[in-house]
Amino acid sequence: MIDSPANPAVPQAHSVREALPAASGRRVLVTGGAGFIGSHLVFKLLQRGDQVIVIDNLSTGRAVNLPAFHPRLTMIVADVSTALLSHAAALSDGLHEVYHLAAAVGVGLIVGKPIESIETNITQTAALLAALSQLRNPPRVLVASSSEVYGKSTSLPFREDDDVVYGPTTVARWSYAMSKAVDEHLALAYASQRQLPVVVARFFNTVGPGQVGDYGMVLPRLIAAALNGQAVAVYGDGKQTRCFCDVRDVSGILPVLLGHTPALGQIFNIGSEQSITISDLARAVLRITHSAGAIEYLPHAAVYGPGFEDLAHRRPDTSRLRAAVSFSPQWSLDQTIADTAAWIIAGKLSGVDWQQGNDALPQMGAGADEGSSNPVVQNFEGLATRERELPS
């Protein structure tokens, strides 16, 4: 059941403590598991009863996103390629599923550190796929990709088999799209040449509690400004449209998709088909947070430098996903905004600086007490794990 705030205009974080599910017998690896989508997925897998191994170098992920102690959670702080060598025994045969979410993300990071972004997205994926393909019983693998793969295409809605159009290699902004496209090529090549059971998931603007605005993510950036009573900055004219999907919907469908045998060897758009302009998104944030702030429009060049190209519209066709696993997003954008605001407020009230969340890295591994003594992590756990009660 979902816990609704007493006053939706002043959202509250919820703490939900649930019984520890019985072990499922599955061993699951999540790379980038301390990140935004990854941490939500980890909670889902732990709820399912899985033994979960997380690999994350914490470059953008945060240790506070995960429970400090859980008997079925093991954390390896390292790059994927390093962990494959240092923990070869733990990551050898016996894995049932792998979710490869580790990546450089966010426009700000891509533009500011293109070398690190390209190398992270390609070399780490290549190392993981090569290692998994050599196992006696290779696990099923979900490789995370991005709507950025579609580049500058103006053919709407975006379909998985569409042609893609990129800008010149002299513009760093397109390096991310190209690197994720190479990831997809690698994944599909391992599927066809080495019979590795792979699914590719193209994420479209996933948002929700746990996301930070450090690297250009628009929704948490707008919410943080609104909560501070500041002007919310919209880049460009605000007429560009995006489709936002709650991370709880996205993380919930990933295990279902990977478990669906006909999905193997295919690419799937993951997201919502409901479009909204960025100006309307900013207005919704101001309304839901009851902020007195205003909207401030800034040219892209003032934020990302000259020559930056933004897409006017980005909308997925999710018919392939719906046909495969009956995906239908359940969380409204208003609820997502409210819960994200509640998560940010909870961090401020507790004194946790989400931007510096890795200073006190908890030790994770089998045999510890279930859950966390950190009340903010517990609040976030409630937001991450509570399920919507669907109408009959």
Give yes or no: 176 in active site.
yes
What angle is formed at CA 278 by the lines to CA 301 and CA 291, rounded to 5 degrees? 105
Q: What distance in Å separates the CA atoms of residue 160 and residue 197, rounded to the nearest whole number?
A: 19
User: Of 115, 137, 187, 102, which Cα lies nearest the Cα of 27?
Assistant: 137
Q: Residue 173: which H helix or E strand, with range?
A: helix 173-193
**DSSP string covering 192-243:** HHS---EEEEEE--EE-TT---TTS-HHHHHHHHHHTTPPEEEETTS--EEE
Read off the DSSP letter of residue 262: G
Instruction: Identify whether the C-beta of residue 302 lies closer than 8 Å to the C-beta of residue 23.
Output: no
Catalytic residue among 99, 150, 166, 176: 176
Q: What distance in Å separates the CA atoms of residue 187 and residue 132, rounded to the nearest whole number?
A: 11
User: Of 2, 3, 5, 1, which Cα lies nearest the Cα of 289?
Assistant: 5
Residue type, 43: F
Give the other-Cβ count within 10 Å of 136's Cβ: 7
Structure tokens belonging to residue 319: 């018919």
* Beta carbons within 8 Å of 348's beta carbon, 6+ residues apart: none
User: Of 117, 137, 122, which Cα lies nearest the Cα of 81?
Assistant: 122
Q: What sign has the CA pseudo-torsion 183, 188, 193, 196?
A: positive
What residues are annotated to the active site? 176
